[in-house]
Amino acid sequence: MHFEVFSHMMGDAVGRELIERFNLFVNLMIPAGHRRRKLSNAEMAHYRSALGTPARREASAIFPRAITRSRAFLAQVETNLHTLDRLPALTVWGDADFAFRAKERIRWEGLLHDRSTVVIHGAGHFVQPDAPDDFAEAISTWHAMQVRKGQLMSDPPFSGWPQTAIEFFEAWSWTTARPSGSTTRTCTSRTSRPRCWHSWAS
C-alpha cells in the first residue's frame, strides 16, 4: 500500500511539477534515503548537478506514477524470475529503508533459492553510499565464498582485491561478467597500487 501512496502523491501533476522545477527527488529523497550518515555538501552538489535542469529531471518526474502504471510489465518480469532462481545471488538489505521493508526482503528470499542475505543495520534506501564499507565487505565476502564453492571465477579481473570501498566500486564493474573468448590483461597505475583487469574478445 505504501508504494501506491508514494506513486499517487509524487506522481500527480503537483508532484511532477515539484520534481521538475525544484529537483524535489534529489533534495528530499536522497537525504531521506541515508540513515547512517548525513551527506556532505559536496555529495549533495554532485547529485544535484546530475539532474541540473528540468529536462534532465523528466525521468525522475515520471518514475513515481510509473510504479502503479507498469503492472503488466512488472507481472511479466515476475513471471520470468524462474530463470534466475537457481543462480547464486546476494541480497544486501538496509533495515532502515523507507521503501523496501522486511516483508519485501522475505519475498525476495523466497524467490531466490541459491542466495545469501546480509542485512546492514541502520542503513537506508541508498544502502551503497549510506554504508559503503559494509556494502563492499558483504560483496567481497560473498564472492570469496562463491569462489570456494566453485560457482564464480577465482581470478578477479584486476590485481589484488580492493582494500577500500572506493577501490571496490572503481573495480567492481570488471567483475560482474566474464564473456567467452580470448583475454587481454591491462594494467594501470592511476593510484599508488597498480591495478590490472582483463578485457574479453567476443
Helix (H) or strand (E) holding 112: none
Asked if residue 63 and residue 125 are part of one domain, the reply reads no
pTM flag (> 0.75): no
Asked if residue 49 and residue 6 are part of one domain, the reply reads yes
C-alpha distance from residue 162 to each of 118, 132, 139, 168, 175 (Å): 20, 13, 11, 5, 12
Last residue of a domain, one of 73, 104, 127: 73
E strand residue ranges, the chain: 89-94, 115-120, 183-188, 195-200
Asked if residue 125 and residue 92 are part of one domain, the reply reads yes
Asked if residue 129 and residue 186 are part of one domain, the reply reads no
- Measured distance CA(170)–CA(190) in Å, rounded: 11
Any domain includes 78: no
Q: How many domains does the chain have?
A: 3
Cell of 11: 506522481
Full pLDDT tens readout for the chain, 202 residues: 677 878 878 888 999 999 999 999 999 999 999 999 999 999 999 999 999 999 999 999 999 999 889 999 999 999 998 888 888 999 999 999 999 999 999 998 998 888 999 999 999 999 999 999 999 999 999 999 988 888 776 655 444 555 555 455 444 444 433 344 433 333 443 444 434 433 333 3
Last residue of a domain, one of 110, 131, 152: 152
Q: What is the pLDDT of residue 153?
A: 66
Residue among 29, 53, 52 at smallest CA distance from 124: 29
Helix (H) or strand (E) holding 48: helix 41-50
Asked if residue 55 and residue 6 are part of one domain, the reply reads yes
Domain of residue 171 covers 158-202
Q: What is the pLDDT of residue 154?
A: 62
Asked if residue 134 and residue 170 are part of one domain, the reply reads no
Asked if residue 60 and residue 30 are part of one domain, the reply reads yes
Any domain includes 11: yes
Last residue of a domain, one of 51, 73, 95: 73
